[in-house]
Every structure is written in structure tokens, then in C-alpha cells.
């Protein structure tokens, strides 16, 4: 059962070939067996999940209509608010925080009759590229437990890869869905900014954050997008459907894009590891064999994406995290002398090193005398990057590049050098700055049998085309059918 896709499992549950209760029990049995080795979950909701599964089975048995994810066991990244369990953001400052409402995407999953298994680990407040910055636990890569799963949605990616759920939600501020998807050989989709509601997502970089799915297949990503997409009155940044209608992402998924034109950025791609670049070139050659035209692009401002991102994102993080003051909610230091100590010691004791680093960077760039020199200049670079993509999409349907310059690195390898860790996101960050959609799909393995991800980018709100282009590759390859070592060694 664990090798079924979410869509296949949903169809079998609706046909009463498998019960939702049976599917959930199977997942919990796998969690009991593998979770101690992987560490994907921060919290698990066995009692409520099994109750929901029974409810779905009862609806089906009585002939009632069920939702688009009827009975499918799924997971959510633990930076999305839920009225059940805690919402920790993998931080000691929120370790015991109980949210008073469900995030819109969580409510949409429940309304679609999904069975929420648990909440997954992440870099603290989604700040990181390896999930090593979690303040609560360690998550490893199912392909090699000595390596990182990527970040910040490493728990979600590892859970899907190890078959500890049938799909998961993550959030992507600078590559946090696509990079762990690439490292763990699953599909990860970062939607257009505004396509999916952020209401109930604990903010990191408000102009960059976007929620999206991590799944086994492209079809599953399309299925999840059908559930979570759309305007939300509770989120003013979500886009009205009269401006950008929500498609049925499954409807024409298997229809290839005709006269496909693919853009590549040679000078940028050249920075990838030789084996990664080899797999990307093989993928490009596959598309050429289908008749696609390859167009070389000049996108010079992408070279400045990391610098601009780490000014804008840290500035927004500094502002968003000011609310954790030891007074309103969350961790509070013991026996403070005065209010200054309440604030300073609570934050000092409960925030991790990377979160502190980004708060300090952001506060510095927003301070008097530096705002114009750094923050406003970064916003201008962001506009230039957005312009690079606009011009590129006048010539091509999509842009293809690596997800990451390397495959998953060893645990601890980059922790002493934050700059090297930041450079792991060199191919993903510009996508968030431009607000366009991107997807990572499995496209091969290196000599250490570690997964390589292919990143495909499309213009804003063209997720339907993006998914079709990704499906063209997936339907003719078997990379998504290879299972990680932890399963192969059963």
C-alpha cells in the first residue's frame, strides 16, 4: 500500500477496496518502525487521525459524497497553525504554543477529508537549508541517514520519501519546498505568490513565503493544488480568481505542451556539481528528443539574488519575530528583574543561533543610515530579477535549472560556515524574489546514490502548464519510482 500515490490510494478508498482506517493504521505502523531513524515528525495525532479515517469510511459506506483527498493520510509542516496539537515552528520559544485557529490550508485539507497524521520538523521558523537548525529534534535523509534532508521543509520531504505519509505541505521562502524535494527525490511545488493562502502560516518573510505540496508524483502535486489553491478573504495577499482563475490542475495533466520552448541559463547552471549538471543536461536532452526548442538566456541579475534575498528576508524576519517578547505568548524567562530582562533573556534563551543571526542582520539593514544603502537597494535588485524573468518568458514557456548545486550534504558539513549554507539555495531564491511558480522533480542520482532534482519555472499563475511540463518528463522516466535506502533495505 505504501507504494501507491495519494491519487491511487484516494481512488481505492472511494471504491472501498481499501479503508481509510486501514491506510492510516499502515502509516502509523511505518512511523513506529522508521520514525526513530528518520525524525521527520514533531508531533503525531494517531487518535484524531484514526477517528477522522473512520468518519471518512462511514461517509463512503453510507453513499455520501467525500472530498478530493478522501481518507488519504497527509502531514503538514509545523509552522502552520492547528487547533489540535502544538504549533512550534521547531523553536523552543513556541514549544508549548496551542494555536486558537486552523490555517486556511489546514482547514481546506480537513474539508477535503484528508487524514492529518502529524506535523513535521523544520529549520527553526523555516530559517535554514538543511533542517539542522531545528530547535527540537534532528531529521535525516532517508537515502542516507548521515546526510541532511534539505530545508527548511526537511521533515515533510523525509516523511514523503520514507512513505510515512502520502503527501505533505511545506512552505517555501527561498527554496524550502524545492530544495528538500530535490535532496529526498520527491516532487515539490512552490506556487505563485498569492495562489495559496498564507493565513495561519507563521511568518518568516511575508513577501516571499508560499505554501505548497511535497508529494510522490506530479499528479499528486496537482491534486493537492486543486485542494489548497484560491482566494482567501483572510489573506489580503491571496489573488482574486477573477484576476487569476484557479485551473483544474489534473484536467489536462497528461497532455504534452506543444511547441515547447525551454530556456536555460548557461552561466548560472555551470556553477553546479559535475554530476548534478550531467543529470540536468540529460533532462534537457530528453525534452529536446520530444521536439522542444532550447533557448539560451542571459539573466545577469540572478547573480545578485542571494545578496538581495538575505537583505529582504532578514529584514522581514526581524520585523515578524519582534512579537516573541516573553509577554504575549510563548517562552518566558524565569525570574526576570524587569521588563527589559523579560524581553532580552526570553529571546536569548529560546531562539537558536541561526534565528538570532537573521534577526540581527535584518535589524541592521533596517536601521537608520543603512535602510537606503541595503534594504531599498535590495528591493531595486528584486525588481531587476523580476524583469529578467519577464523578458525570459517572452521567449520561452519555461526555464530549467538545477534545484541545488550539489546533492544532499553530510550532517554538520556546512553548519560552521553560514555563507556556504546560504549558497545551497543559489538556484531557488530568485524564484521567490520574482514571485513565480517552480517545481522540483526527481531526475537522477549521483555516484553516491543520492538524488538529483530538476527545477522547472513558469510565469506567474501558470501552474497548470508547469505541471504538464513536469509530467512530460515524469511519464517517460522512472526516477520517481526508485525508493530510498531505508525502504530498499527492508
Catalytic residue set:
77, 152, 176
What is the C-alpha to C-alpha distance for residues 121 and 153, in angstroms, rounded to an integer? 7
Q: Are 222 and 467 in contact (CB under 8 A)?
A: yes
Task: Give Cβ neighbours of residue 102 (< 8 Å, ≥ 6 apart).
Answer: 81, 82, 83, 110, 200
In the three-class reduction of DSSP (H, G, I as helix; E, B as strand; rest coil), residue 304 is classed as helix
Residue 74 bridge partners (DSSP) = 116
Q: Provide the CA 316 distance to its chain's centre, in angstroms.
A: 19
Q: What is the dihedral of CA 275, 130, 222, 61, to 10 degrees?
A: 130
What is the C-alpha to C-alpha distance for residues 88 and 466, in angstroms, rounded to an integer? 33
DSSP label at residue 125 = G
Q: Are 263 and 392 in contact (CB under 8 A)?
A: yes
Indicate the helix (H) or strand (E) that contains 189: strand 187-190
Cell matching residue 8: 491511487
CA geometry: angle at 444 spanning 27 and 287, to 5°? 115
Cβ burial 252-286 (10 Å sphere, 16+ → b, else e): bbeeebeebebbbbeebbeebeebbbebbeebbeb
Q: Are 404 and 424 in contact (CB under 8 A)?
A: yes
Task: Give Cβ neighbours of residue 147 (< 8 Å, ≥ 6 apart).
Answer: 140, 141, 183, 408, 409, 410, 411, 450
In 3D space, the residue among 481, 60, 477, 145 whose CA is nearest the CA of residue 286 turns out to be 477
What is the C-alpha to C-alpha distance for residues 247 and 230, in angstroms, rounded to an integer? 10
Q: Are 9 and 18 in contact (CB under 8 A)?
A: yes
Q: Are 226 and 105 in contact (CB under 8 A)?
A: no
What is the C-alpha to C-alpha distance for residues 190 and 1, in angstroms, rounded to an integer? 27
The torsion angles phi and psi of 359, rounded to 5 degrees, stand at -60, -45
Cell matching residue 5: 500515490
In the three-class reduction of DSSP (H, G, I as helix; E, B as strand; rest coil), residue 44 is classed as strand
Side-chain-facing half-sphere of 319: CA atoms under 13 Å: 12
Q: Provide the CA 408 distance to its chain's centre, in angstroms.
A: 16
Burial of 151 (0-12, 13-18, 19+ CB in 10 A): buried
Amino acid at each position: 500500500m505504501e507504494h501507491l500515490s495519494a491519487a491511487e490510494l484516494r481512488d481505492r478508498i472511494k471504491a472501498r477496496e481499501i479503508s481509510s482506517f486501514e491506510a492510516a493504521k499502515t502509516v502509523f505502523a511505518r512511523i513506529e518502525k522508521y520514525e526513530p531513524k528518520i525524525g521527520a515528525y514533531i508531533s503525531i495525532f494517531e487518535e484524531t487521525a484514526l477517528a477522522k479515517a473512520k468518519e471518512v469510511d462511514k461517509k463512503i459506506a453510507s453513499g455520501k459524497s467525500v472530498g478530493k483527498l478522501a481518507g488519504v493520510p497527509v502531514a503538514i509542516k509545523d509552522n502552520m497553525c492547528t487547533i489540535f496539537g502544538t504549533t512550534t515552528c521547531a523553536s523552543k520559544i513556541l514549544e508549548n504554543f496551542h494555536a486558537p485557529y486552523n490555517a486556511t490550508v489546514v482547514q481546506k485539507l480537513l474539508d477535503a477529508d484528508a487524514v492529518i497524521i502529524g506535523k513535521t520538523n523544520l529549520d527553526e521558523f523555516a530559517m535554514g537549508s538543511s533542517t539542522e537548525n531545528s530547535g527540537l529534534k534532528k531529521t535525516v535523509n532517508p537515502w542516507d541517514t548521515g546526510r541532511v534532508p534539505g530545508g527548511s521543509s526537511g521533515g515533510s520531504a523525509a516523511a514523503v520519501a520514507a512513505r510515512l505519509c502520502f503527501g505533505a505541505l511545506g512552505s517555501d521562502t527561498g527554496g524550502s519546498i524545492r530544495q528538500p524535494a530535490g535532496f529526498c527525490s520527491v516532487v515539490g511545488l512552490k506556487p505563485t505568490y498569492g495562489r495559496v493562502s498564507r493565513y495561519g502560516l507563521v511568518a518568516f518573510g511575508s513577501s516571499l513565503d508560499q505554501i505548497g505540496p511535497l508529494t510522490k508524483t506530479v499528479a499528486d502535486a496537482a491534486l493537492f493544488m486543486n485542494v489548497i489553491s484560491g482566494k482567501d478573504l483572510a489573506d489580503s495577499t491571496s489573488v482574486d480568481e477573477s484576476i487569476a482563475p484557479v485551473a483544474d490542475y489534473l484536467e489536462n495533466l497528461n497532455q504534452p505542451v506543444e511547441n515547447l520552448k525551454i530556456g536555460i541559463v548557461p552561466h548560472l547552471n555551470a556553477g553546479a556539481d559535475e554530476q548534478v549538471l550531467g543529470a540536468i543536461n540529460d533532462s534537457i536532452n530528453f525534452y529536446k528528443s520530444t521536439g522542444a526548442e532550447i533557448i539560451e538566456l542571459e539573466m545577469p541579475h540572478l547573480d545578485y539574488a542571494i545578496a538581495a534575498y538575505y537583505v529582504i528576508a532578514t529584514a522581514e524576519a526581524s520585523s515578524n519575530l519582534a512579537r516573541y517578547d516573553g509577554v504575549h505568548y510563548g517562552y518566558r524567562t524565569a525570574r526576570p528583574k524587569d521588563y527589559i530582562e523579560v524581553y532580552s533573556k526570553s529571546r536569548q534563551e529560546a531562539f537558536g543561533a541561526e534565528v538570532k543571526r537573521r534577526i540581527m542582520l535584518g535589524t541592521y539593514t533596517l536601521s537608520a543610515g543603512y535602510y537606503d544603502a541595503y534594504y531599498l537597494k535590495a528591493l531595486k535588485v528584486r525588481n531587476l530579477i523580476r524583469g529578467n524573468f519577464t523578458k525570459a518568458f517572452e521567449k520561452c514557456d519555461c526555464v530549467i535549472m538545477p534545484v541545488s548545486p550539489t546533492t544532499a550534504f553530510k550532517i554538520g558539513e556546512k553548519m560552521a560556515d553560514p555563507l556556504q549554507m546560504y549558497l545551497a539555495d543559489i538556484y531557488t531564491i530568485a524564484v521567490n524574489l520574482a514571485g513565480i511558480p517552480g517545481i522540483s522533480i526527481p531526475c537522477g542520482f549521483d555516484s553516491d546514490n543520492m538524488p538529483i532534482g530538476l527545477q522547472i519555472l513558469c510565469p506567474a499563475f501558470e501552474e497548470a502548464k508547469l505541471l504538464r511540463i513536469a509530467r512530460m518528463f515524469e511519464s517517460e522516466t522512472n526516477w520517481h519510482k526508485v525508493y530510498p535506502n531505508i525502504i530498499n533495505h527492508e
